[in-house]
Amino acid sequence: MKEMLKKIKEEAMNALSGVTGQTELEELRVKYLGKKGELTAILKQMGKLSAEERPQMGQMANEVRAAIEESLAEAKEHLDAMALEAKLEAETVDVTIPGEKIELGHRHPMNIALDEMKEIFVGMGFEVLEGPEIEESVYNFDRLNTDEGHPSRDWGDTFYFTEDSSLLLRTQTSAMQVHAMETRELPIRIVAPGRVYRKDEVDATHSPMFHQIEGLVIDEGITMADLKGTLHTVAEKIFGKGTVTRFRPHHFPFTEPSCEVDVQCHECGGKGCRVCKGEGWIELLGAGMVHPKVLKMSGIDPDKYSGWAFGFGLERLAMRRFNISDLRLIFENDVRFLEQF
């Protein structure tokens, strides 16, 4: 029996020293220490031994069991360590590999131009208003003193939703003047940027959708001098100190008198060049003193209050500002173009 115990111990130690996986380890544990294992089988034969031999063999069997258990534990520890090492190896991060570049987006040139304009006007105490692009004709035309039959109401120029021409895609941000007069307490000092729509064919200078920024000031004692002073200051902020402005008589139904404002060409100083198409002047915007009828229609007393308004095209401004020669580039959203700003 002594020999058998010795043999079991040797075999077990041998087997355990070469163990390569957790399943094999468990199989060996069952083989030697399990209920039907080899050591148990021997212990079952203890009854056959003499009274003297029994304690000796018992002690030896215990020692063998203890030795095998210890080896099992060691083998398990070794296997766990190997597994951890393999896992760490597989998950190694090579910090020297160049990182993947994350492309950061940025503002569209139109938004850059718009933000600049907002900043200028907010700095002068104006409030920024936004309003609907789907508009009632009453706001887009009637209450701006533009009656039925006026050429700008033509079906060939305007996107109408209804047969009776009562609902449309706004053709001008001027509609926001009426909303401002309706919702704001006097005095009013607002700018309203946004999209407008007209039935224009797409070309280098036209698009059926474009952006305008509207302005409206109403208070007691407002005069044309305020309009000139403010718009000249704005022109200087956009094009630089010393910019020369020109106020030309014009006609709009909602202002009286009306004017168009030009800036002297910054490229040639007024001599005429490619940028100003030989004119020496660049048209900037339409403006004028708010027509008394327009004030009256929105419940403002024209004998007490007066005001001025303006509207300009933002694309034209952005194109000038960034030297963009074709309007279509602004809306195509080709990243090769947009990346340049």
Given the rule CB under 6 A, which residues bind ligand DAH? 172, 174, 214, 252, 255, 286-288, 309-311
Residue 28: both structure tokens together: 């060996």
With beta carbons less than 8 A apart as the criterion, state whether 190 and 128 touch. yes
Task: CB nearer to ligand DAH: give 214 or 262.
Answer: 214
The distance of closest approach from Cβ of residue 272 to ligand DAH in the complex, given in angstroms and rounded to an integer, is: 25
Nearer to ligand DAH, 76 or 228 (CB): 228
Structure-block tokens of residue 64 = 């063998």
- CB nearer to ligand DAH: pick between 28 and 289: 289
Q: How far apart are CA 202 and CA 211, in angstroms?
A: 15
The nearest distance, CB 230 to ligand DAH, in angstroms, is 13
b/e 203-224 (16+ beta carbons within 10 angstroms → b): eeeebeebbbbbbbbbeeebee
Q: How far is the CB of 312 from ligand DAH (least distance, A)?
A: 7
Closest CB to ligand DAH among residues 239, 252 = 252
Compute the least distance from the CB of residue 318 to ligand DAH, in Å. 17
> Min. distance of Cβ 141 from ligand DAH in angstroms?
11
For tokens 């104006």, the residue is 126
- Residue 49 or 297: which CB sits closer to ligand DAH? 297
Question: What are the structure tokens assigned to 178, written together?
Answer: 């009426």
Q: Distance between CA atoms of 291 and 307, rounded to whole angstroms? A: 8
**In sequence order, what DSSP letters do the residues of 31-70 get, joined into one string?**
HHHSTTSHHHHHHGGGGGS-TTHHHHHHHHHHHHHHHHHH
Q: Considering beta carbons, is residue 57 or 284 the nearer one to ligand DAH? A: 284
CA 126/CA 134 separation, integer angstroms:
24
Shortest distance, position 217 Cβ to ligand DAH, whole Å: 11
Cβ neighbours of residue 189 closer than 8 Å, sequence gap 6 or more: 125, 126, 127, 216, 217, 219
The residues facing 309 across adjacent strands are 216, 288
The least distance separating ligand DAH from the CB of residue 258, rounded to whole angstroms, comes to 6
Nearer to ligand DAH, 139 or 252 (CB): 252
Positive or negative torsion for Cα 328, 215, 180, 160: negative
The alpha carbon dihedral of 138, 142, 148, 153 has a sign of negative
Give 27 or 226: the residue with its C-beta nearer to ligand DAH. 226
Q: Measured from the CB of residue 135, what is the shortest distance to ligand DAH in angstroms?
A: 13
